[in-house]
Each structure stands twice: as structure tokens, then as C-alpha cells.
Amino acid sequence: MGTVYLIHFQQPIGNLDNPLGQAQHYLGWTTNLEARLHEHRTGNGSAIMAEVARRGIDWQLVRTWPGGRDLERQLKRQHNTPRFCPICNQKGDIPDAC
């Protein structure tokens, strides 16, 4: 067991000319959320978060779920993390994890 978490970037990264080639979220899993967020802040851990740190893009933790790697994979397979993000989904109909 651990924590699945969703991070929202203040601006998208990737190919800004192609909406399908951009990312504005990072979905991850950890057993120690505070330590993992510290790794992300310092540019360690995942390639996308290292690039966000290198570019100086602000980000914030916007959502967490209790769960393990299976839940993380289940959410990632949906290829639609913005629907779980309270910043992106202003309608207020944010679904539960699954």
C-alpha cells in the first residue's frame, strides 16, 4: 500500500504545437509522499519532473488516493489525468479513482 498522487504543472511541457504531445500532469505512486515530493522538487526521480524542475515550472500536488502500483497503472491507462485534476476540471464532477 502507499499513495497515488497527481501533480499539476502551471504550464504544459512538450511539443506546444501539438496538443497530443504536451503534458500538464504527473501521476505517480510512492510509499513516502513527502520524500517523493522532495525528490521531484530537486529534479530527481522521474524524467518529466526533472525537466519541469530544470525549466523552473511551478507545480502543485492536487490530489492523492490511498493505493498501490495497480491503482497508479489503472489511472495512467485511462490517458486522461486532467479529468481527475481539480484545477483542470472546474465543473466539480471529478470522479473517484475507479
Domain assignments of the chain as residue spans, ordered by start: 2-84
- Residue 14 gets the label, from left (phi > 0), alpha (psi -120 to 50) or beta, of left
- pLDDT, residue 89, reads 80
Q: Is 87's pLDDT higher than 80? A: yes
What pLDDT is attached to residue 97? 54
**Which residues, including other chains, have CB under 8 Å from residue 74's CB and lie 6 or more apart?**
97, 98
Reference 24, options 88, 76, 90; nearest CA is 88
Decide if pLDDT at 92 tops 70.
Answer: no
pLDDT for res 98: 46
What would the pLDDT profile of 2-21 be if each residue is shown by its tens digit? 999 999 999 988 877 776 67
Instruction: Report the chain's mean pLDDT, rounded to a whole number.
Output: 88
